[in-house]
Amino acid sequence: MPSSSEQSAYFVTGALAGLAALPIELGPSARLLPVLKSHLAIQVPRAGFRFWVFDLSKSQLSSQLPGTGLLRTTLVGALSGFSGGLAEVTYQSLVFRRHLPEFAALASQSGKLFFCFGTYTFLSTSLSEELPPRPFWYCWVMGAVAGAVGSGVLAAVEGARGSVLAKLTGKGALSIGTVIAVQVTTCAKTLMPAKA
Question: Which SS3 state, helix, strand or coil, does residue 132 take?
Answer: coil
pLDDT digits (tens, 9 = 90+) for 153-176: 999 999 999 999 999 999 999 999
pLDDT at position 196 over 50: no
Decide: 11 and 48 in contact? Cβ < 8 Å.
Answer: yes
Q: Rounded to whole angstroms, how far apart are CA atoms 172 and 87?
A: 19
Task: Report yes or no on whether pTM surpasses 0.85.
Answer: yes
Model pLDDT for residues 28-75, shown as the tens digit of each residue: 665 655 665 666 778 888 899 999 999 999 999 998 988 889 999 999
pLDDT at 23 over 90: no
Q: What is the DSSP string of 98-138?
A: -SPPPHHHHHHHHHHHHHHHHHHHHHHHHH-SSSS-SSHHH
Of 141, 184, 128, 182, give the one whose Cα is nearest residue 20: 182
